[in-house]
């Protein structure tokens, strides 16, 4: 303490951390939710904030920190937060590409499990294809709060965490869709693995920003910035449950 990638004091993080990929989004979320939000770390520009959020008249300590993009980056921050800073739950708030036919841009996905083409969980348990699953408690809390989402439909189910953003094995997306996969992003499987490793809780709540089959309604960069209110409401509900 501090760790190689986090320069915060021992008590600077709340037990619950919201984790968007983009550190600037972490700053906006912190300012939006917490009047007393203050910066606790900025190593490599990966901003982390702590403050208190009020939910139904009760104050809850909360931190918000970026993960960067991809499973290796998210794993570094999740490991240090769980192992060194006593964090109990991390809720990723991000975007994903829609895969399933019924999923529309603007919908919110609660990722109950995450398939992956990454090696990050491959060697955790010898001889085992590790199942990267979210915390049931956090997923149930997010699901219970779904009435708070005014735009889009809230769905809960499997997602996939890919290593490549721009490249996919031919047939992979079709196969994932045929197996009920709702969306694609790049961090959840590793995050769930780290939470399992440390006996803590993790969840990903994702706004669908584009669709891999029907690209006609993809969000602009600006919309990706602003249209995450629904996912954020569910993430806060899970964080403070
Ligand atoms: N692929 C991976 N990550 C994503 C995507 C995607 O299409 N959309 C938003 N995050």
Q: Is 209 in the pocket of ligand 1 (CB under 6 A)?
A: yes
What is the pTM for the complete model shown? 0.96
Is the CB–ligand 1 distance for residue 215 below 6 Å? Answer: no
- Active-site residue set: 210
When the pLDDT of each residue in the chain is averaged and rounded to a whole number, the result is: 96
CB 152 within 8 A of CB 221: no
- The rounded Å distance from CA 210 to ligand 1 centre is 7
Tens digit of pLDDT for each residue in 72-123?
999 999 999 999 999 999 999 999 999 999 999 999 999 999 999 999 999 9
Q: Is the pLDDT of residue 224 over 80?
A: no
pLDDT number for residue 222: 79
Q: How far is the CA of 161 from the centre of ligand 1 (A)?
A: 9
Q: Is the CB of 210 under 6 A from ligand 1?
A: yes
Q: Is 50 in the pocket of ligand 1 (CB under 6 A)?
A: no
Residue nearest atom 6 of ligand 1, based on CA coordinates? 97
The pLDDT of residue 218:
85
Ligand 1 centroid to Cα of residue 189, in Å, is 14
Percent of the chain at pLDDT exceeding 70: 100
Any ligand 1 atom below 6 A from CB of 95 = yes
Does pLDDT of 216 surpass 90? Answer: no
């Amino acid at each position: 303490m501090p760790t190689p990638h986090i320069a915060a004091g021992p008590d600077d993080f709340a037990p619950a951390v919201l984790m968007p990929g983009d550190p600037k989004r972490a700053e906006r979320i912190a300012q939006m939710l917490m009047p007393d939000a203050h910066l606790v770390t900025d190593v490599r520009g990966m901003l982390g904030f702590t403050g208190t959020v009020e939910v139904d008249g009760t104050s809850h300590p909360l931190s918000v920190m970026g993960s960067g993009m991809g499973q290796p980056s998210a794993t570094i921050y999740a490991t240090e937060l769980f192992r060194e800073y006593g964090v109990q739950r991390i809720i990723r708030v991000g975007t994903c590409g829609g895969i399933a036919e019924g999923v529309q841009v603007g919908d919110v996905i609660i990722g109950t499990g995450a398939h992956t083409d990454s090696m990050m969980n491959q060697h955790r348990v010898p001889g085992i294809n590790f199942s990267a699953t979210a915390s049931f408690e956090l997923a149930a809390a997010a699901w219970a709060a779904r009435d708070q989402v005014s735009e889009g439909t809230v769905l809960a189910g499997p997602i996939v965490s890919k290593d490549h953003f721009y490249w996919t094995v031919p047939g992979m997306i079709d196969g994932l869709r045929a197996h009920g996969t709702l969306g694609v992003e790049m961090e959840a499987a590793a995050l769930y693995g780290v939470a399992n490793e440390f006996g803590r809780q993790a969840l990903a709540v994702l706004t669908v920003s584009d669709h891999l089959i029907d690209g006609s309604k993809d969000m602009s960069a600006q919309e990706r910035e602003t249209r995450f209110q629904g996912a954020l409401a569910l993430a806060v509900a899970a964080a403070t449950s």
